[in-house]
Amino acid sequence: MRHIFIINPAAGKKNVTNRVRAEIEGVCARRGIAPLIFISEYNGYERFIAEKMCSLFTDEDIRFYCIGGSGTLTQTFSGIDDEPNRQIACYPTGLSNDFLKCYQGGNRGFQNIENLLDGRIDELDYIKVIGCCKALDFVSTGLGNSMFESEGLFSLLSETSSTAAYGIGVPYDLLRNADTDYDITIDGTDYSGHYALVLAMNGRVFGNRITIDQDIYPDDGIMNIYLFHQMSPTKQAGTYFNLYFGRNKDLEGRYTMVKGRRMILSRKDHERFSLNADGDGFNPEETTLDIRLIPSGAKFVAPQHTALIEPNEETALTK
């Protein structure tokens, strides 16, 4: 098996490249593994490397290790082809690494190269935006995207804590976001209308701490799609803060939730999309998006002692 490590030095509040590289080299030397280690040079570099490695080692088993944040994970994952002998692991060093909150204890256990080398394979669902990207956690358009569109703002916020980053970024977004008139079909049923936010969830948490429903699992073969209705900027602000502080009961009537496997989405003004996939921004060329859940399509590496949070389990989500 090829062991390929991609380190993003820009993830999180400090550069951990030297420390993690020394850990990788030490552990792999003891095990007789010859790792390939890459240091990310620009946004999208991880995807480029993943695509290149898959094309070079077509018939070999490859395990990709993403050392960084949610964006590092989704960029790498988006570059991996659909061959069955590809695996992906996450060593979290980013602001929040929200997808790992699908596991008991969150980040704990994943920040260890030995654990990832010895990890088991969980066959998980993922969201695929055809011709654009792949996401393990969520895909959205509308409210929550502006902070990722501004490279300068996101770079500045990356120097702060995750709570501060979202606390500053979202109010900035509220000043910029406008309702959009969409054509939407979900599994063939029409849900077209004006929405402030269209959100497809496969994981449990986004925006560092927001959980709309406890009943979301990345191995149940379904997407939870949330269509937040047209609302004023004041109501958008209230909606965000209710979500952020877990006051979900106060959101009744503000959104429609649909469970489905495929969403066809376009803007009635025919403008291009600004898309947020697991905290990273994408601007697809297509003006109509085909967003699909791929059941059991991701071979995700998890430490042996961790487990996915099970339905109705009252497990605390900790970092």
Chain segment 52-97, per-residue pLDDT in tens: 999 999 999 999 999 999 999 999 999 999 999 999 999 999 888 9
* Residue 221, pLDDT score: 96
Specify whether the CB–CB gap between 225 and 194 falls below 8 A: no
Task: Return mean pLDDT, the chain.
Answer: 87
Question: Residue 171 CB: number of other CB atoms within 10 A?
Answer: 13
The tokens for 129 are 């935006």
| Of residues 51, 105, 111, the one with CA closest to residue 82 | 51
Specify whether the CB–CB gap between 6 and 67 falls below 8 A: yes
* Residue 144, pLDDT score: 64
CATH fold of 2-125+297-302 reads: Rossmann fold (3.40.50)
Residues 117 and 129: their CA atoms lie apart, in Å, by 30
Residues 258 and 196: their CA atoms lie apart, in Å, by 16
* Residue 70, pLDDT score: 92
Residues 246 and 209: their CA atoms lie apart, in Å, by 9
CA distances from 6 to 71, 79, 115, 196, 295 (A): 12, 12, 17, 35, 26
> What is the reported pTM?
0.88
Residues paired with residue 102 on neighbouring β-strands, in sequence order: none
Residue ranges of E strands in 118-233? 120-129, 133-135, 138-142, 180-186, 189-190, 193-201, 223-229
Q: Where are the domains of the chain?
A: 2-125+297-302, 135-296
The architecture of the domain spanning 135-296 is Sandwich (2.60)
CA distances from 95 to 61, 144, 207 (A): 30, 16, 10
* Residue 254, pLDDT score: 87
Domain 2-125+297-302 and domain 135-296, same fold? Reply is: no
| Of residues 129, 2, 155, 140, the one with CA closest to residue 77 | 129
Residues 303 and 312: their CA atoms lie apart, in Å, by 22
Each residue's pLDDT expressed in tens, for the chain with a length of 319 residues: 999 999 999 887 788 899 999 999 999 999 999 999 999 999 899 999 999 999 999 999 999 999 999 999 999 999 999 999 999 999 999 888 999 999 998 888 999 999 999 999 999 999 999 999 999 999 999 876 655 455 554 454 444 444 444 555 555 555 555 678 999 999 999 999 999 899 999 999 887 778 888 789 999 999 999 999 988 777 877 887 777 777 877 788 889 999 999 999 999 998 888 899 998 889 898 999 999 999 999 999 999 999 999 876 444 443 3
Residue appearing with tokens 């009961």? 249
